Structure formats: C-alpha cells, structure tokens
Structure 1
Amino acid sequence: MNRRALPAVAALSATAALLMTACSSGSGGGGSSSDKIKGVDHGSAASPSASAAREPGGAQRPNIKLPTSFQVEFTGWTNSDPKLQAILDDSKQQLMGSYAAIIAGNPNDAPMAFYNTGEALMTGKQWIKGFADKDLTLIGKTRAYKPQARISPNGSGTFFYCVDESKSSTRNTKTNKVTGTPADKAQVLYRTKLSKNSSGVWQTTFVTTTQGGCR
C-alpha cells in the first residue's frame, strides 16, 4: 500500500494496495513520444485529438464544482478513440470529486461512491477522513497531465497520469497554517485501474501513487 504523506495534495483516494501495470495487449492511448511517462509500458499509442469529445450518456453524473481557492488544470486530456476518451472523462471527474470531498470534509460526498468502487472507495474514504480529522483543506492549484489510457481484452481499464502539486498546499481551517508540497515530491505519478459499471461509468477500483514519479 502506497500511502501519501498527508500534506501532499494529490493523495486523495490514492491509497489502494496494488501497483498496476499497463496492459500490453490493450488499446492505444494518447500522447506523443515526448509525453511518455518514465517507467511506464505504453505499448502502441494513438495520437490525441484536441477536438475529441464525449457526450456523457446513461448515468446521471453528479455536478462537481471546486471553489476558486483551489483549481485543477487538465492538460492533454483528449484522445481520438472515444472508448479511451470515456476513461479520461470519468477519471477526470473522479479526481475532481476526490478534491471536492476533501474540501467539503466529507468522505461520503456523493461523487466518491459514483466514481470509485471496491478498494479505491474504501481507502479513498479513509484518506479523506484523515484530512477532515486534522482540519485540513486544499488551496492553490494543481495540474494533471500526461494521461495514458488502456483497455484490456477482458474489458477493464488501466490509466496512468501525472499531477503537478508544486503550486498547491494544505491549510488548517482552525489555525490557518499553510503547508506546501516539497519540490522533490511535487510531480506525482498516478496508476489506476478501472471497470465499467452497468450504467456505463468507468469507476476507479484501485489507485497507487509514486511521489516524484513524473520528473
């Protein structure tokens, strides 16, 4: 289990048990050779398309909003393959929902159960409770970049991406003490595994992180 130090902002639900590797026989994901994540087996990749978009269908997805005091920038989160774009779209909302739950101090915030299941949901709730118990909220800005998605022959998904925490911090809501993320741990590699539920939502089942894994 790879638990992040509490002040590191992008930890969130990234406390699950297993490291996931990319599916070597899966479908290709977006990203040029310059965008490859060190240490990740990317296989064959399809070029991302800036015009690619997916209209959410099936399930009624929750509306997630973050306060102006904490924002997330998503760079390159498009893919020419609509099946892989669906993974990017739901993974984006999963990350946003985790941030929103920390800021709300509510491990049971609705998007958590909507976009997470199994081990990811259980450990995510525990992690968010850790923030709440220490009266911590999030401020500043993070950037999520270098997304790499795969779909395996059995229909499960694997998703890798990076988060830059260098401009984000935690703030104690009682003392107003601000704690930034150390520079050597600011570029965080996320490895996630997903499954599509009966409503067509790609839910995160496992997450692990590597601090400094995206230098």
Structure 2
Amino acid sequence: MKRRSLPVAVALAATATLLLTACSGGEDSSNDSDKIAGVDRGGTAPSTSPTASKNVSDIKRPKLTFPSDFRMEFDRAEPSDAKQAAALHDAENFVRAINYGIVQQDAEHSAYKFYSTPGGSAQAYAKKQIQQYVDGGWTITGVQRYTRAKVEMAGNGSRASVSFCDDDSKFYGKEVKTQKVLKTEPSDKDYYFFEIVMQASKEAKGLWTAETIEVQKEATQCKA
C-alpha cells in the first residue's frame, strides 16, 4: 500500500528547482496504482496571534502516538546547525502527522495542519493521502525507515529544503474492519525520495512548517 508518487522525470526536475530556489514545488499529482490499488498519501491551521511570537519552549505540539504494530525509524545524524536541525525535525513531524491522520482515519486532523503551511501543496498532499486511506477502509502497519536526510538553507535562513529517502519494504496497508494485513512482494515501488520545503514560522519561534512537497516513486537510489 504505497501512497506518494510522481512521474520520475517530473519529480527529478522539481527536485532540482527546489534545491535552486527552496520556494517552488508541487503536490503529488499522479494516479498511479501501487500497493492497495493506488493509494497516494490538508484545512484550517491552528490560530496564533499575529502580534505575539511564541518561543520554542512555549509551542504546544500535537502528541502523536501510534499503535504497537507500526513505527517510523529515522536513521540519520543530527545537524550541528540549530535551524537545520529544527527544519529537519519538523519535516519528520509532518510525515508523522500524515501517518497519524491515517491511523485516526481523519483527513481533517489538526496534526498535519499544525506542521504544514495553509494553502501550500504540502497540506493538500497530506489531506489527499489520508483521504484515500479513509475512503479505502485502510490503516497502516509495519515499519517505515527514513535515511539519507539532507538540509539546505535558503531565503536568508527562513526556508529550508529537506530531503530524505523512505524504505517501505516492511510497511503495509491493513483493512480497518477485518484487520487483514495486505502484504505485497518487495519491489522498487517500496522506495521513495522526498523533497520538502520547510518554512520558519513567524508566530512560533522554532516551529517549521511544510510548504511544498515533491515525492519521487521507485527511487532506486534509496535502496540500502
């Protein structure tokens, strides 16, 4: 049950653009069929005062707790630069929030909205991914392994291009009603390359939100 896919040529071109500008991007737009008949994995942002800036210690982040049969592994080194580390952490939190919306079966869940920029393609992408799982009657199980994280700053430090690989070879869909795990044979479709443009919040110091996202499917460069 794979969700995020872009035609490879389009994704690679978009990635190059993101790295150059760190402000362009697009939503996943393909209708390709992967595991579970074509699942590709956004509304209102939490209100914040435009006049009062919150410090990182004051940010009330969503609590994301997953069932025991699902986990996300992030195998990476911690960036030494504080802004790079914060942007990477919240890019990971954005992906976590998408999975949490699937587990909660709620395409309007506040978690992914907290970690994404209102009106951006990343928020629309998150909603689409969750909605397709909900419509199909599926949830998630297994392990997702994220590796090869890279952060490049832009926009005078207010934006960051975050990329990483995703290995879904041990990640599966599961029917909500029957709890049947929908296993598939390992293939190149298990690998994805993410490129997410993160934007520093003006209201909450230390918070970064996903603005745009590009996802390359069958990213064989991400194989171990």
Same fold (TM over 0.5): yes
Using the size of structure 1 for normalisation, the TM-score is 0.74
* Residues 165/107 of structure 1: CA separation in 2 closer, same or farther (3 Å cut): same
Say if 2:191 is the partner of 1:191.
no
* Residues 157/178 of structure 1: CA separation in 2 closer, same or farther (3 Å cut): same
The farther-off stretch of 187-196 and 119-128 is 119-128
Task: Tell me if structure 2 keeps the 8 A contact 1:77–1:145.
Answer: no
Structure with the bigger percentage of helix: 2
- Please tell me the residue identity of whatever aligns with 1:180: K
Tell me the C-alpha RMSD between the 2 structures.
Answer: 2.4
What residue is the counterpart of 1:172 in the other structure?
Answer: 175
What residue is the counterpart of 2:210 in the other structure?
Answer: 204
Q: 1:126 Cα deviation (Å)?
A: 2.1
SS of residue matched to 1:167: strand
Q: 1:23 Cα deviation (Å)?
A: 3.5
The total of aligned residue pairs comes to 177
Q: 1:56 Cα deviation (Å)?
A: 4.4
Q: 1:57 Cα deviation (Å)?
A: 3.2
Say if 2:151 is the partner of 1:149.
yes
Say if 2:23 is the partner of 1:20.
no
Distance between the aligned counterparts of 2:122 and 2:155, measured in 1?
22
Task: Tell me if structure 2 keeps the 8 A contact 1:75–1:143.
Answer: yes
- Please tell me the residue identity of whatever aligns with 1:79: P
How high is the sequence identity, in percent, across the aligned residues?
22
Task: Tell me if structure 1 keeps the 8 A contact 2:162–2:197.
Answer: yes
Distance between the aligned counterparts of 1:164 and 1:123, measured in 2?
19
Say if 2:127 is the partner of 1:125.
yes
Task: Tell me if structure 2 keeps the 8 A contact 1:149–1:160.
Answer: yes
Task: Tell me if structure 1 keeps the 8 A contact 2:98–2:129.
Answer: no
Give 5+ residue unaligned stretches, structure 2. Answer: 23-54
What residue is the counterpart of 1:105 in the other structure?
Answer: 105
Q: 1:144 Cα deviation (Å)?
A: 0.8
What residue is the counterpart of 1:32 in the other structure?
Answer: none
What residue is the counterpart of 2:34 in the other structure?
Answer: none
Give 5+ residue unaligned stretches, structure 1. Answer: 1-6, 27-54
Using the size of structure 2 for normalisation, the TM-score is 0.71
